[in-house]
Amino acid sequence: MVSRSLLPHSTRGFTMVELLVVVAIMAILAVVASPSIGNALARQQIKSATFELAQALQTARNTAVLYRRTVDVRASYPTSSTNNQWNGLNSGSLFTTNVTTADQAKIAKTSFYTLQTGTAIDNATATDNVVTQIATVNNKIVINNDAIVIRFRPDSSVQIATSTTGALTSLTANKDFVITSTGYSDTGYTVSLTVSGAVRVVKNA
């Protein structure tokens, strides 16, 4: 006789009703968690774009002074709207003035880039210039500033241009870049560029 204790026990599975309840609970949790996850992601994207821009400006300034070169930080796709000059990929045209053909491929589909002259100040030609840094931020990021060119000079002075064909003029007051994200209520950050070329990052109130 076979002992009952040695017989395999049957395993009871989930009923359809139980499975539906579990699925419903998971769906509710996903809906509740979704805004929180979305907000956290947006905050991180804003912060990342902010410090990428600040780093590009600071590096360009240091390079200009150290190597006695003019160095531009430029919006790749400046748009007709001043609300998002520095991330206008979806509505602007690629800004390629004095950028070599080889480097034009590098800056395509980017948000902003750094262009360094290859020879002494004011003596560069298009073939002397080189793109040394590119940045691509999330397409929901808005970088609000009317300037599309920030030029750093060896004497630490700063010039700006507000159009692809506009003349460069000396910066006479702080230039603020306000970084936010579409569809997200956070006030974001401000990257402030002073007339001496110093860069500051401030969390907006």
Architecture of domain 15-203: 3-Layer(bab) Sandwich (3.55)
Is the separation of the CB atoms in 145 and 176 below 8 Å?
A: yes
Domain boundaries, the chain: 15-203
The pLDDT tens digits of the residues spanning 53-103 come to: 999 999 999 999 999 889 999 999 997 666 788 998 767 789 999 998 889
Indicate the DSSP class of residue 116.
E
Is the separation of the CB atoms in 98 and 129 below 8 Å?
A: yes
Using a cut of 0.85, tell me whether the model's pTM lies above it: no
The pLDDT tens digits of the residues spanning 104-147 come to: 999 999 999 999 987 655 555 656 889 999 999 999 999 989 99
Q: Choose among 105, 149, 148, 96: nearest CA to 126.
A: 96
DSSP notation for 121-155: TT---TTT-EEEEEE---TTEEEE-S-SEEEE-TT
Q: Choose among 126, 198, 189, 186: nearest CA to 158.
A: 198
> Looking at residue 7, what is its pLDDT?
53
